[in-house]
């Protein structure tokens, strides 16, 4: 048998010995929990049990784990997606800034009517607009 809980009200973990408020689990279930943790799940105490959970499905509020509603999960997912896109945009802006410097130093036309500088500036404007949308 293993025991899950905290002895100091901060650090949760597995123990060989029983203690106050520990949750008893079998060795087989402990192995399943450890395996799920290696696959990106988190191990949490929930409603008197120990479970492996998707990090986006639960939140720690008022000293306990709470399952999120579908709307809250979607909002969390959108926040993560926006943060990923924000980082992509910032990387693209850095690359375009380098290209703009080159376009200033070596002026030439992209096509019959547009310079490379104008082209890069229009891409930057579009990216900054998208960045503003997702960060508000």
For the chain, percent of residues with pLDDT exceeding 90: 68
- Structure tokens that stand for 118 in this block: 């104008």
pLDDT at residue 72 in the model = 93
The share of the chain scoring above pLDDT 70, in percent, equals 100
pLDDT of residue 91: 96
Rounded to the nearest angstrom, the gap between the alpha carbon of residue 13 and the centroid of all alpha carbons in its chain is 23
Q: Grade residue 7 by pLDDT with cuts at 50, 70 and 90.
A: confident
Distance CA 14, CA 64 (A): 18
pLDDT tens-place string over residues 11-56 = 889 999 999 889 999 999 999 999 999 999 999 999 889 999 988 8
Q: Is 71 exposed, middle or buried, given 0-12, 13-18 or 19+ CB atoms closer than 10 A?
A: exposed
């Amino acid at each position: 048998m293993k025991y899950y809980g905290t002895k100091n009200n901060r650090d949760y973990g597995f123990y060989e010995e029983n203690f106050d408020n520990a949750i008893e689990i079998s060795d087989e279930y402990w192995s399943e929990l450890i395996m799920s943790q290696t696959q990106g799940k988190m191990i949490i105490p929930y409603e008197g049990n120990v479970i492996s959970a998707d990090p986006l499905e639960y939140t720690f509020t008022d000293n306990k784990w709470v399952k999120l509603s579908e709307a809250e999960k979607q909002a969390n997912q959108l926040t993560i997606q926006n943060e990923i896109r924000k980082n992509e945009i910032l990387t693209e802006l850095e690359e375009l800034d380098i290209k703009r410097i080159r376009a200033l130093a070596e002026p030439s036309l992209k096509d019959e009517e547009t310079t490379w500088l104008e082209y890069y500036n229009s891409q930057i404007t579009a990216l900054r607009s998208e960045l503003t949308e997702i960060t508000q």
